[in-house]
Amino acid sequence: MSAKLTTNDLDAFWMPFTANRQFKTAPRMFVSADRMHYTTDDGRRVLDGTAGLWCVNAGHCRPKIVEAIQRQAAALDFAPTFQMGHPKVFEAASKLVNIAPSGFNHVFFTNSGSESVETALKMAIAYHRARGNASKVRLIGRERGYHGVNLGGTSVGGIANNRKMFGALMTGVDHLRHTHDLERNAFSRGEPEHGAELADDLERLVALHDASTIAAVIVEPVACSAGVLIPPKGYLTRLADICARHDILLVMDEVITGFGRLGAPFGADYFGISPDIITTAKGITNGVVPMGAVLVTSKIHDAFMTGPDYVIEFFHGYTYSGNPMACAAVIATLETYQEEGLLTRAAELARYWEEAMHALEGLPHVIDIRNIGLTGAIELDPVPGEPTRRAYRRFVDAFERGLLVRATGDTIALSPPLIIEKAQIDELFDILTKVLKTAK
Ligand code: PXG
């Protein structure tokens, strides 16, 4: 029970992305979970409006996944994947290829989204080198992008708070302009009308740096962490065309949009784009075991498969790349997604979700509502001089009323498990309406 905890009990754990001192004076604790709900340490049920941290796409504690990792832990706890193998890692990779966009025939395993991003960036640079273009080393991200917290991902990322503490970061990095445009696109339903031309910003960077120095562009199909910024109609196609014209690899960071969030298996499917590399994590194991995967086309993979066959082709990998328990979780998770049609279920619910979201228009301080698939955001005008306070208060208020949402900046983001029922969507928005009407 939280009443029994003292400040000292909470001291040791330095919490990530958390206001530690504030949290520890009034902790919020989950002790169990089942499908759409968490249970708190004081026995309250909380509707999960965020699929944990955008990862529990099949809902919580699904027996098939739980049993798979229990069995695997007892059968083969760890096996190296450097110069050795175990069957589950090959099975997990094959299953991923089967649901990946066409042409993505190879999988490199990591343990998180951040590691997937680092892997993709290194792959892009090494790919050009392998083809004799060793000057193509520059990496292009986008303002307001989030690509995890490691040094490469922080460098190509575009959220000032995530960057400013860490010095000059990597050299040889530049950023496209972001696509968020409240003036022209506020309260758009789905993809906004205006802004496809912002993709031409890549031509500006090509003119500045020259294509012969640029390895890759990395973008999220939908910039979720920065507040669910949805690409304007035509933007991603235009960006992909410019990349192809200049032999610049397109990395789509699908750590959130992968595994059904938008209503198609991947964002690349949803937007009809053919990137070169796709980074994933989160939903790959339903959040149960840390895991990530980089999906690559044969074009990328085969460029490495040259030289004497006893020589390592890519000097990169993690001790836990393809850890047996994580692979068992991948297999059981993908089977669950397929058995229950979850990779496309968001498409069936998208219209209902959109109506429910946009019904919040007109509530106090709401300056924009955005939706796509089974995700969306409500942007609030900030308290003058106190950025983030407005959304944070509403996050706490929602939690107290039995709903978990995410506050990012002054935006409330939503991304429920893909098993959500319409009645639960109603419940979610009933609570949120009360919160938006009454919270200070
Ligand atoms: N790329 C993208 C697009 C992400 O959204 C990462 C990389 C990094 O993944 P890992 O597994 O290293 O955390 C992410 C992670 C939030 C939130 O609420 C978003 C993420 C993580 C935690 C919170 O916005 N995205």
List phi, psi (to 5°) of 107. -135, 130
The residue whose CA is least distant from atom 16 of ligand 1 is 225
- Give the pLDDT confidence score for residue 119 in this predicted structure: 99
| Residue-wise DSSP of 169-221 | --SSEEEEPP---HHHHTT-SSS-SS-GGGGGHHHHHHHHH-GGGEEEEEE-S
In the structure encoding, which two tokens stand for residue 423, read together?
């009645």
177: pLDDT strictly greater than 90? yes
Which domain-ending residue is among 339, 372, 397? 339
Asked if residue 373 has its Cβ within 6 Å of ligand 1, the reply is no
pLDDT tens per residue, range 299-353? 999 999 999 999 999 999 999 999 999 999 999 999 999 999 999 999 999 999 9
Matching residue, tokens 């499908």: 35
Whether residues 175 and 239 share a domain: the answer is yes
On whether both 321 and 403 belong to a single domain, the answer is: no
Q: Give the tens place of pLDDT for each residue, 369-407.
A: 999 999 999 999 999 999 999 999 999 999 999 999 999
341-367 average pLDDT score: 98
* Mean pLDDT score of the chain: 97
What is the DSSP-derived secondary structure letter of residue 164? G
Check: CB of residue 298 under 8 Å from CB of residue 103: yes
Ligand 1 pocket, residue 117 CB under 6 Å: yes
Q: What is the CATH number of the domain that holds 392?
A: 3.90.1150.10
- Asked if 24 and 148 sit in the same domain, the reply is no
Q: Which residues contact 179 (CB under 8 A, 6 or more apart)?
A: 195, 198, 223, 229, 231, 232, 235
- Do 123 and 213 lie in one domain? The reply is yes
pLDDT at 288 over 90: yes
Q: What is the CATH number of the domain that holds 334?
A: 3.40.640.10
Which helix (DSSP H) or strand (DSSP E) does residue 47 occupy? strand 45-48
Say if ligand 1 is within 6 A of residue 118 CB: no
pLDDT of residue 303: 98
pLDDT in tens, 193-235: 999 999 999 999 999 999 999 999 999 999 999 999 999 999 9
Give yes or no: residues 308 and 348 share one domain: no
Residue 262's pLDDT band (cuts 50, 70, 90): very high
pLDDT at 93 > cutoff 80: yes
Sign of CA dihedral 404, 407, 412, 416: negative
Output 4 or 157, whichever has higher pLDDT.
157
**From ligand 1's centre to the CA of 141, what distance in Å?**
15
Do 83 and 42 have their domain in common?
no
Same domain, 144 and 208: yes
Burial bucket for residue 289 (CB in 10 Å: 0-12, 13-18, 19+): buried
Return the DSSP state at 229: B
The predicted structure's pLDDT at residue 328? 98
Same structural domain, 174 and 228:
yes
pLDDT at residue 7, rounded to an integer = 54
The pLDDT tens digits for 178-195 are 999 999 999 999 999 999
| Count of domains forming the chain | 2
In ligand 1, the atom with minimum distance to the C-alpha of 256 is: 5
CB 81 within 8 A of CB 109: yes
- What mean pLDDT is predicted for residues 61-83? 98
Q: Which atom of ligand 1 is nearest to the CA of 117?
A: 7
Task: Read off the pLDDT band of 1 (50, 70, 90).
Answer: very low
Q: What is the pLDDT of residues 100-131, one digit of tens each?
A: 999 999 999 999 999 999 999 999 999 999 99
For ligand 1, what atom is nearest to the CA of residue 116? 7
**Is the pLDDT reported for residue 33 higher than 50?**
yes
Residue type, 139: L
Residue 440: pLDDT over 80: no
Q: Are residues 264 and 185 in the same domain?
A: yes
- What residues make up the domain containing 378? 2-58+341-438
Instruction: Examine the fold and report which residue of 339, 358, 380 is the final residue of a domain before the chain moves on.
Output: 339
Q: Which of 48, 53, 222, 286 to mutate to test the pocket of ligand 1 (most atoms within 8 A of CB)?
A: 53
140 and 205 fall within a common domain: yes
Judge if 205 and 318 occupy the same domain: yes
What's the predicted TM-score (pTM) here? 0.97
pLDDT value, residue 3: 54
316 and 432 co-located in one domain: no
Model confidence at 290: pLDDT above 60:
yes
Please say which residue of 307, 339, 371 terminates a domain.
Answer: 339
Q: Identify the pLDDT of residue 8.
A: 60
Cβ 228 under 6 angstroms from ligand 1: no
- For β-strands 375-380 and 411-414, DSSP reports them as antiparallel
pLDDT in tens, 140-153: 999 999 999 999 99
Query: How would residue 439 be classed by pLDDT, with cut points 50, 70 and 90?
Result: confident
